[in-house]
Amino acid sequence: MAKGKTWAWVGGLLGGAVVAGAAAYYAFEKASEQPPFTLVEKDGAFEIRDYPELVVAETRAIGTREAALNAGFSRLADYIFAKRRGDNGGSGGEKIAMTAPVLSTKQDASWRTQFVMPSKFTLATLPKPSDNVDLTTRPARRVAVLRFSGSPDDAALEKREAELRSWLAAKGINGGAVEYAFYNSPFIPGPLRRNEVLIAL
């Protein structure tokens, strides 16, 4: 077999493996538990939802949104996968299933990252986290939501937030703080990603 054809064949195999792996992980993420909500209103891609009280694990990090999200995700992943727990940063114990979405909110000079805990857990039954992760409950709330696909960079998030606030303003509603929800891993192709901008009502 010619050298060029050999590399094309190898590249095809590797490319196929990557696509197959991404497809499998995309299916896994779609099957992950998501927090329940009641749909109050739907207008195309715009929605108003009511969420019940939710138990979350959260952490805060300073820096750009993306850097803080990566740091927060890493800490929370260490917690749910039992890699770092307790006051001494120890490991072990029951692993906690990953849920979707990952929530990100700006708070003063820092960014807060949250994982919603699986519904089978309460604050009393969750393993104790390390000192840079907190367990808390989010009160029941009503939010306006705009869902979109693609890469959720800062420009895309700002654009979608402006569209959502414009939609609310047309209805005579003043929205509150903004929050971002990411349902997929970064290596999932942009057209398949689910991202949401949420505004508190």
Reply yes or no on whether the pLDDT at 81 is more than 80. yes
Percent of the chain whose pLDDT exceeds 70: 84
Reply yes or no on whether the pLDDT at 10 is more than 70. no
Q: Which of 10-14, 45-49, 119-123 has the lowest mean pLDDT?
A: 10-14
| Sole residue written with tokens 């907190």 | 134
Candidates 187, 191, 99; CA nearest to 149 is: 191
Q: Which residue has the higher pLDDT, 170 or 10?
A: 170
d(CA 61, CA 100) in angstroms, rounded, equals 20
Question: Which token pair is 95?
Answer: 């692993």
Q: Which residue has the higher pLDDT, 162 or 188?
A: 162
Reply yes or no on whether the pLDDT at 22 is more than 50. no
Q: Note whether 199 and 169 are within 8 A (CB).
A: no
What pLDDT digit, counting tens, does each position of 150-172 carry?
Answer: 999 999 999 999 999 999 999 99
Residue type, 183: Y
- pTM comes to 0.84
Reply yes or no on whether the pLDDT at 6 is more than 60. no
Q: Note whether 54 and 114 are within 8 A (CB).
A: no
Residues paired with 148 in a beta bridge: 195
Q: Note whether 63 and 111 are within 8 A (CB).
A: yes
